Structure 1
Amino acid sequence: MLKAAVIRWAVPGDWVKLGELQARSYHDAYRKLLPHDFLNRVTAESRQSECRERLREPGHTGILLIDHKAVGYISLRFPISPQQGDGEITALYLLREYWGRGLGTRLMDWGLERLRERSCTEASLWVLEKNAAARGFYERLGFLPDGTRRVVTRGDEFVQLRYERRIGT
């Protein structure tokens, strides 16, 4: 099945499938971590409207397709100027039934290569402090917490930790 896996930039016509993927993978990732009332507000429809707007300017979200089915995605933020040098992984999600197959690593590798192409020397991302599985995944890929914390509201308040990794050019 991995041979049929393709990662490409999402285009404006992907807004429907990307919205569905975002809602479903978000529920998969946070089912046991975030309040149910909050998760119930994360729907394909709410995500599709955001995707439709965001995809007007393509080149920030990579979509993973297996046999033409959207099963994962990675979103990137590039520096405003090449002198800044830092890029950010703003999202990386995969449908639960595809976990443990190396596809998350493939998505991350693809995203890091896109950041390198833009002369980024470091990549950062934010992860919920209590999301041990995600933290372990990022640490296996060479990301480490830099000590920066922030509080986000997802129905309740949660602490996120910033992780960074040097990626070179």
Structure 2
Amino acid sequence: MNVAAVSFRDANVGDAERVAGLHADSWRRHYRGAYTDSYLDGDVFADRLAVWSARLADPAPQGVTVLAEIAGEFAGFVHVILDDDARWGSLVDNLHVARAHHRHGIGAALMRRAAGTVLERGATDAMYLWVLEQNTAARAFYSALGGRVAERSYTRPPGDVPGRLNGRPAKLRCVWPDAGALLPPG
């Protein structure tokens, strides 16, 4: 797939169902074991739809959601919360690519979009995200993009509902002190 064929646009409220569907699908594939099967096989889509419907209907000024599309087909999205943390900078709160579009450069292109947004609108150039420790593919992806692990913590349950977790899954803070490192030289 040619990444040049990918178009990007800001998400709007009409995109909530597609974004929630991809988010739920991604969690079902990558968070199994950390999140309970009953949540992943049951409430996850409804939960994500409520989150994304609210988030896109009344966007926070510091929240930016960008969609990737190929010939009008939804391929992925990234959501950034600008200036989320005084030390670590802007938070890449979500990055998900449709399974059919994995390994085609869309995730990296979305990370570059996130970095560009941080550099253009953030108070600092720093950017970070949290990744589940068990998600080795995502960890390798972020490492290949120059992210480094800065700390380990424990994830909170989605929607702060304790019954949605299996035990205490660990998460890692992956950081880019200068989001400009994600952009091509020039």
Q: TM-score, normalised by structure 2?
A: 0.78
CA distance in 2, matches of 1:114, 1:100: 23
SS of match in other structure, 1:61: strand
- Per the alignment, residue 162 of structure 1 pairs with 173
- Per the alignment, residue 41 of structure 2 pairs with 40
The offset of 1:133, in angstroms, is 1.0
1:60-99 aligned at under 5 Å gives the runs: 60-79=64-83, 86-99=89-102
The offset of 1:50, in angstroms, is 1.8
Q: TM-score, normalised by structure 1?
A: 0.85
- Per the alignment, residue 7 of structure 1 pairs with 8
Query: Which segments of structure 1 move beyond 6 Å, counting only runs of 4 or more?
Result: none
Change (3 A) 1:67 1:45: farther
The gaps in structure 1 that reach 5 residues or longer are none
Answer whether contact 1:7 1:65 (CA < 8 A) is retained: yes
Partner AA of 1:158 in structure 2: P
Q: Please, what is the CA RMSD of the aligned residues?
A: 2.5
Answer whether contact 1:152 1:159 (CA < 8 A) is retained: no
CA distance in 2, matches of 1:46, 1:85: 28
- Per the alignment, residue 133 of structure 1 pairs with 137
Answer whether contact 1:26 1:93 (CA < 8 A) is retained: no
Change (3 A) 1:84 1:117: farther
2:149 is aligned, of 132, 141, 145, to 145
Larger fraction in helix = 2
The gaps in structure 2 that reach 5 residues or longer are 158-163, 181-186
Answer whether contact 2:82 2:91 (CA < 8 A) is retained: yes
CA distance in 1, matches of 2:68, 2:94: 13
Answer whether contact 1:28 1:95 (CA < 8 A) is retained: no
- Per the alignment, residue 23 of structure 2 pairs with 22
**Comparing 95-104 with 20-29, which one deviates more in the overlay?**
20-29
**Comparing 33-42 with 138-147, which one deviates more in the overlay?**
33-42
User: Share of identical aligned residues, percent?
Assistant: 26
Answer whether contact 2:115 2:127 (CA < 8 A) is retained: yes
SS of match in other structure, 1:130: coil
Answer whether contact 2:66 2:79 (CA < 8 A) is retained: yes
Aligned residues: 168
Answer whether contact 2:151 2:172 (CA < 8 A) is retained: yes
